[in-house]
């Protein structure tokens, strides 16, 4: 009997587990189909969902801290400590053994019960700060002093009317030299205010909630903006501090003030086109705007990756028939290599330049030329051969046969750039060019680049299948690539076709359903 029961229990558990796996798989499959069918609507839906979850987390966190603070403030022991210290301070001033003993007890309670808070202040009805855990410059001061004019915490207490706990929005609190918000709880005796217990809450945990990037891809971020249109969380794209220092005057913020919530493709505070989902909401009388955004470039890249085979064929077909503009021309003189201190990149080689030198390579026929540059800072020129992992026919067995002849230049160079040459936030500054008379390497190179966080809008391709070879000169300082197709040597005219060529992101917009939905 027991064995039969165990058997059927295992069967039921197995069936339920299978159904759960099927349901999860169906969900992700449906999400994939929805994105392919209507990428704009799917992206806004995703951002809206993330925005709502982040907002709920922020409110829940603040409510939890408020509840903990109120619980401690209503604790009879804390009230007794407040009243004893107030009595000692009013009659004897600060100091003495009894004062020190009570301070020590309150400090221990603060560490145990209020670990999320930065400081605890006791303030009497006249405005004297007679207790502080941190004992900074506000301690033993009076909130009515001129030096505290304009400090939101003290301005709030000066005007306070209610007997309930009040919230003070995040601002730069110069006394602690950091952003802070506050909960103010009045201490009453026979309905008369004896003073206030103030809890100082740092921005750290709120910032962690907003900057956690699960589901936000390579360029997504969620941030809070206050009523002064100042960012109150850290930007993922700015190395310097943005908390209460970065003004956000974007269409999303302006629309949130007028319309409360919405979704729109706009230019963000970096002047980049983004999908933006925004909402104005209230917390304890404080108006905030929460914004969830992701770069349009990343969305375009994801459209391509989700339909790679179909769209790659469309792109190469389009480029093979594309009429590159070549109205900008440059004639290199006989001694141009020496005069320009140019560096030659030989067959199956790559070179880096960061001292203003131009790079050049010759005879790209079955090979592929690739430029990677950060305009004005550095540039790489790669002469990639058919024994490189970028070529479509180089599989695992081929690698074994090639052994030392096998290369993977794109992976090697991009790993080095990401590790040594740039910060993460600078990756979008890279400009990449591919030049070849065939498309055998393009697909794998594009995939490798996207795996390193490069967007399609950063990549340009010069593809001329009716020519036998191409020679390339790369001037990273001015982000210029000069190409000579099917000529003999460097005595002929080079054209700046790279400048006028469309980037792959533009082509995906044109060739997919992006602009039709």
Consecutive 10-residue runs of the chain (517 residues): their mean pLDDT? 61 63 49 67 95 97 95 91 95 94 95 94 96 96 94 91 88 95 92 92 96 93 96 93 96 95 96 97 95 97 94 94 71 58 91 91 94 96 93 64 78 96 92 95 96 96 91 91 73 76 94 76
CB atoms inside a 10 Å sphere around CB 11? 10
Residue 237 CB contacts under 8 Å (≥ 6 apart), including other chains: 221, 270, 425
Per-residue pLDDT at 200: 97
CA–CA separation, 360 and 459 (whole Å): 19
CA–CA separation, 208 and 221 (whole Å): 12
Pick the CATH number of 2-61+206-298 from 3.30.450.20, 1.10.1240.10, 1.10.3720.10, 3.40.50.300: 3.30.450.20
- Cα distances (angstroms) measured from residue 284 to each of 65, 71, 166, 171, 497: 13, 18, 8, 15, 58
Predicted confidence (pLDDT) per residue in 270-301, tens digit: 999 999 999 999 999 999 999 999 999 999 99
375 closest CA partner among 269, 504, 481, 454? 481
Per-residue pLDDT at 125: 93
- How long a stretch of residues is the chain? 517
Tell me if 236 sits within 8 A of 213, measured CB to CB.
yes
CA–CA separation, 199 and 116 (whole Å): 10
Read off the pTM. 0.86
DSSP symbols for 355-384: SS--EEEEEESSSEEEEEEETTTEEEEEEE
Place of tokens 């006028």: 500
- Cα distances (angstroms) measured from residue 162 to each of 165, 184, 425: 8, 10, 46
Strands of the sheet with 349-353, listed across from one edge: 349-353, 378-384, 368-374, 431-436, 459-463
Q: Which residues of 101-140 are buried (b: 16+ CB within 10 A; e: fewer)?
A: ebbeebeebbeebbeebbbbbbbbeebbbbbbbbebebbe
Residue 33 structure tokens: 């189909």
CA–CA separation, 268 and 272 (whole Å): 6
Tell me if 189 sits within 8 A of 183, measured CB to CB.
no
Place of tokens 């030329």: 369
CA–CA separation, 308 and 44 (whole Å): 22
DSSP symbols for 259-292: HSEEEEEEE-TTS-EEEEEEEEEEETTEEEEEEE
Q: CATH top-level class for 323-516? A: alpha beta
Contacts 24+ apart (CB under 8 A), 466-470: 466/437, 467/437, 468/365, 468/437, 469/363, 469/364, 469/365, 469/437, 470/364, 470/369, 470/435, 470/436, 470/437
Contacts 24+ apart (CB under 8 A), 127-133: 127/154, 127/157, 127/158, 128/89, 130/85, 130/86, 130/89, 130/94, 131/82, 131/85, 131/103, 131/106, 133/106, 133/107
Mapping DSSP to helix (H, G, I), strand (E, B) and coil, where does residue 250 land?
A: coil
Per-residue pLDDT at 26: 45
- CATH code 3.30.450.20 region(s) in the chain: 2-61+206-298, 77-202
CA–CA separation, 453 and 302 (whole Å): 11
Place of tokens 């960012």: 231
- Cα distances (angstroms) measured from residue 238 to each of 118, 243, 270, 424: 26, 11, 9, 10
- CATH code 3.30.1330.200 region(s) in the chain: 323-516
Q: What is the CB-side half-sphere exposure of residue 493 using CA atoms within 13 A?
A: 8
Tell me if 157 sits within 8 A of 186, measured CB to CB.
no
Q: CATH top-level class for 77-202? A: alpha beta
490 closest CA partner among 348, 361, 326? 361
Question: Which residues are paired to 119 by β-bridges?
Answer: 200
Tell me if 294 sits within 8 A of 275, measured CB to CB.
yes
Residue 316 structure tokens: 């190469």
Per-residue pLDDT at 335: 57
């Amino acid at each position: 009997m027991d064995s039969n029961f165990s058997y059927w229990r295992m069967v039921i558990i197995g069936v339920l587990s299978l159904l759960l796996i099927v349901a999860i798989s169906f969900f992700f499959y449906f999400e994939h189909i929805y994105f392919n069918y209507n990428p704009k609507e799917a992206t806004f839906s995703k951002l809206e969902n993330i925005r709502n979850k982040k907002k709920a987390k922020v409110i829940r966190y603040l409510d939890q801290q408020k509840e903990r603070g109120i619980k401690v403030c209503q604790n009879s022991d804390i009230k007794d400590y407040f009243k004893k210290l107030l009595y000692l301070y009013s009659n004897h001033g600060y100091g003495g053994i009894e004062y020190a003993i009570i301070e020590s007890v309150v400090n221990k309670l603060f560490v145990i019960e209020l670990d999320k808070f930065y400081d605890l202040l006791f303030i009497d009805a006249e405005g004297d700060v007679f207790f502080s855990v941190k004992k900074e410059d506000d301690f033993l001061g009076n909130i009515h002093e001129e030096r505290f004019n304009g400090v939101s915490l003290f301005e709030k207490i000066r005007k306070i009317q209610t007997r309930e706990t009040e919230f003070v929005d995040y601002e730069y609190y110069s006394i602690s030299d950091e952003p802070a918000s506050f909960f103010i709880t009045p201490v009453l005796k026979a309905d008369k205010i004896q003073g206030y217990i103030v809890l100082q809450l740092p921005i750290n945990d709120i910032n962690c909630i907003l900057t956690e990037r699960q589901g936000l891809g390579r360029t997504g971020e969620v941030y809070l903006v206050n009523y002064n249109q100042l960012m109150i969380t850290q930007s993922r794209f700015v190395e310097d501090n943005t908390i209460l220092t970065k003004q956000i005057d974007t269409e999303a913020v302006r629309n949130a003030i007028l319309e409360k919530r919405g979704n729109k493709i706009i230019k963000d505070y970096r002047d980049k086109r983004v999908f933006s989902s925004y909402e104005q909401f209230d917390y304890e009388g404080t108006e905030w705007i929460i914004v969830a955004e992701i770069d349009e470039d990343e969305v375009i890249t994801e459209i391509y990756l989700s339909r790679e085979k179909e769209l790659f064929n469309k792109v190469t077909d389009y480029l093979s028939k594309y009429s590159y503009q070549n109205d900008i021309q440059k004639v290199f003189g006989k001694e141009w290599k020496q005069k320009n201190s140019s560096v030659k990149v030989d067959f199956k080689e790559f070179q880096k330049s960061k001292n203003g030198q131009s790079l050049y390579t010759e005879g790209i026929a079955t090979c592929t030329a690739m430029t990677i540059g950060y305009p004005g800072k550095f540039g790489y020129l790669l002469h990639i051969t058919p024994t490189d992992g970028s070529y479509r026919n180089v599989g695992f067995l081929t690698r074994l046969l090639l052994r030392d002849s096998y290369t993977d230049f794109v992976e090697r160079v991009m790993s080095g750039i990401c590790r040594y040459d740039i910060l993460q936030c600078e990756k979008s500054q890279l400009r990449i060019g591919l030049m070849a008379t065939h498309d055998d390497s393009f697909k794998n190179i594009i995939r490798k680049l996207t795996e390193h966080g490069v967007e399609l809008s950063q990549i340009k391709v010069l593809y001329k299948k009716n020519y036998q070879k191409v020679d390339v000169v790369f001037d990273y300082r001015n982000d210029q690539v000069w190409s000579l197709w099917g000529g003999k040597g460097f005595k002929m005219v080079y054209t700046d076709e790279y400048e006028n060529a469309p980037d792959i992101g533009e082509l995906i917009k044109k060739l997919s359903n992006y602009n039709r939905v």
